Structure 1
């Protein structure tokens, strides 16, 4: 047996590698929702870490392992490849397929699990936005997927949106760059796979009646084309329109992308300047937040926290006082971010990942403040969020109970409880009175009840 790599291969070597995966003892396995796979996949927990083990041909396993490692180095969101177990044989000497070992992405869910829980009424567009962005990022990195589908993707919550991660790369190839024809072939495959998967959801009763599977699958091509054009299209401008470069950079940064270089090509006699933007990787807000605070988050989460950090800075620092942003960020983490997470009861702390909990607290405070007509303290917002929202959410930690894979909607009794209890927070915060305020509170509570 050969183990290619791993942070702690000693623990993993104790697994029953001489046994086919489909016969592994249940006491060694973890029950997790998983997507459709053409291979046998099992989840195991070793030393507090959950690993996904896929039985696959050795050549394909080594190919996928190398691709996942290379893509991860370029910043593309993929699952973490841990190692390849090769030269497996049964006790009687019968050869077995190799096994690719990856680290399970915590707080992630396959698409069928998201649809079965149905926490979000706008799930379809968010899912396709995330998939289109992942495909754009892969193509920018020179990776042609050849099997783009929802089944080969995991999704994590990202400040109300979804972030997509590549899971299955065995059919892919990595090249210096992709031609338009290679990209279009990938898009054609994606359209066909998505239509099939959405039709399957429709047959299972998991797709909204208002969603047409074929039209929805086609729409991902438009989403992809719009994002690709924004990121790669050249910009023509007049000699006195240099401000448009800054405008383009800001727009790309808002999408989460950085600029590698700007090429200015001015031809003699040509009154316009051609500005070619080359985008190399996403994560502008992620990196900025990490540089300031040391916190690692998804892109939308990082953008939301940076906005709140800027508000905190403007409130905490007098205009005539010069305080560097690193100092303000350090105080923000210790005075705002950490106290919010510490206020969440331990038994509820793994309902969502910490960054998403913090984002939802900020959103909840905004709704509270709007209803109250004044700024609600963050402490009050945390208490209200825990009491009226978080405790009703199903767990999204790594070790999910299959029994939780229902539709995920709040019961009418839970919604009624939220409606009754949320106005108490308004009263304790110094509250507004009257039927109008009560109606707004009820609308806010029901909004959370609808996901």
Structure 2
């Protein structure tokens, strides 16, 4: 049981907070006031999609949280579901707390509030579609969304409300990673039938089409984007990816490179292969089906070795640099090499960024892009140009021209009057 101070009279109103991470600052928020009427000093203005609920962003300390008013049963169910998704490393927002038993100063009941942590450096898909998108960017966004739905179905999760508003994106070493932001209608099963997958995909198609039409009617969708093409592209990309992941492949006994090729294709699509199931069929051929697991091997390895939390593609690039450093340094101990790489390579690069440019990209994405920039410079020069030159070149020629992407902190809502 906690107390939240709210209302014009400043009365202490008891509320019940269920939280995996207790933050005393939660108790000081105006829980006796409807979320829609919260004073501006508590709020942060961030892009958001459309919602059937009242949603506000609130800063507590160094973090920004999304607060959503809903019925207590729904809030608790979504909280439990998001926590379950977090335990299996599914790309979704992090559930923080449920605040229940709210009431006004006059004793009128108020809806409960589900609190999730806002995903750093992310934007809703709807916000992206509200701006001019290059075809290449559109393609990567749709790839990321299709991959999210595939991962979701592989884990047995039925979303039931996939849309441009309920999906977040953020950069992942030049590509895009998509995240689930609203699990209110979701359900986690041991596995999904083809019928369940088809229903979920049809819901996504209809929702995406409807939101794209809404943006088009408001004059916010670029004239080159066809809403019908967008929603059909998501479905087609999903079906191609699902087929690549799940189909059984007949190969000749000697054609082992075919297996390696398929595993490489799956890795390129962002999926890891835990094992390969093989059975003998006619004429000495094998029937092969890889067991695909949710992407995350590189993320987990980087976190274990360095303590750095990164997206999968970012982690892959950072680990490649770490492994190269280890080979050059002739260090046999992986942990020792990782520690030295962080202190001698990663941290100096991040510190080299002037303060006024640090809002441009998060450190892991910055380092991943500098690695790519160094490779391009070295290719042109026909030799290794070195990290110091690459960093200075990237800062002066690339980063300084990028817009700020620190959507995590947003802009404080100005106080009225």
TM-score by length of 1: 0.81
* 1:385 CA drift (Å): 2.1
1:123 to 133, 137, 149: 137
Matches within 5 A, 1:341-380: 341-380=350-389
1:400 to 393, 406, 410: 410
* 1:114 CA drift (Å): 2.9
Q: 1:119 to 1:226 in 2, by over 3 A?
A: closer
Aligned to 1:17: 31
Aligned-partner Cα distance in 1 for 2:396–2:256: 52
Kindly provide the CA deviation profile for residues 317-345 of structure 1, in whole angstroms up to 9, marking residues without a partner as x. Answer: 5xxx6745555444433332221101001
Task: Give SS of 2:372's match.
Answer: helix
Kindly provide the CA deviation profile for residues 118-170 of structure 1, in whole angstroms up to 9, marking residues without a partner as x. Answer: 58662211111111111011111111111111110111111111111100110
Aligned to 1:272: 285
Aligned-partner Cα distance in 1 for 2:135–2:259: 37
Aligned to 1:159: 173
Q: CA RMSD in A?
A: 2.5
Q: 1:330 to 1:118 in 2, by over 3 A?
A: farther
How many residue pairs match? The answer is 398
Please, which runs of 5 or more residues in structure 1 have no aligned partner?
404-451
Kindly provide the CA deviation profile for residues 398-441 of structure 1, in whole angstroms up to 9, marking residues without a partner as x. Answer: 122389xxxxxxxxxxxxxxxxxxxxxxxxxxxxxxxxxxxxxx
Aligned-partner Cα distance in 2 for 1:230–1:391: 40
Task: Give SS of 1:146's match.
Answer: coil
Task: Give SS of 2:294's match.
Answer: strand
Q: 1:104 to 1:330 in 2, by over 3 A?
A: same
Task: Give SS of 1:122's match.
Answer: helix
1:287 is aligned to 2:300? yes
1:388 is aligned to 2:397? yes
Aligned to 1:48: 62
1:73 to 65, 83, 87: 87
Q: 1:184 to 1:332 in 2, by over 3 A?
A: same
Aligned to 1:252: 266
Aligned to 2:6: none
1:142 is aligned to 2:152? no
Aligned to 2:341: 332
Aligned to 1:62: 76
Aligned to 1:417: none
TM-score by length of 2: 0.87
Q: 1:238 to 1:257 in 2, by over 3 A?
A: same
Matches within 5 A, 1:200-239: 200-239=214-253
Kindly provide the CA deviation profile for residues 235-268 of structure 1, in whole angstroms up to 9, marking residues without a partner as x. Answer: 222333445444433433333323344433346x
Moved more, 194-203 or 209-218: 194-203
Task: Give SS of 1:344's match.
Answer: coil
Aligned-partner Cα distance in 1 for 2:331–2:35: 61
Q: 1:121 to 1:311 in 2, by over 3 A?
A: farther
Please, which runs of 5 or more residues in structure 2 have no aligned partner?
1-14
Aligned-partner Cα distance in 2 for 1:118–1:352: 21
Larger strand share, 1 or 2: 2
Instruction: Check the 8 A contact 2:21/2:97 in 1, yes or no.
Output: no
Aligned-partner Cα distance in 1 for 2:409–2:134: 22
Aligned-partner Cα distance in 2 for 1:322–1:55: 54
* 1:274 CA drift (Å): 2.5
* 1:217 CA drift (Å): 1.3
Instruction: Check the 8 A contact 1:152/1:166 in 2, yes or no.
Output: yes
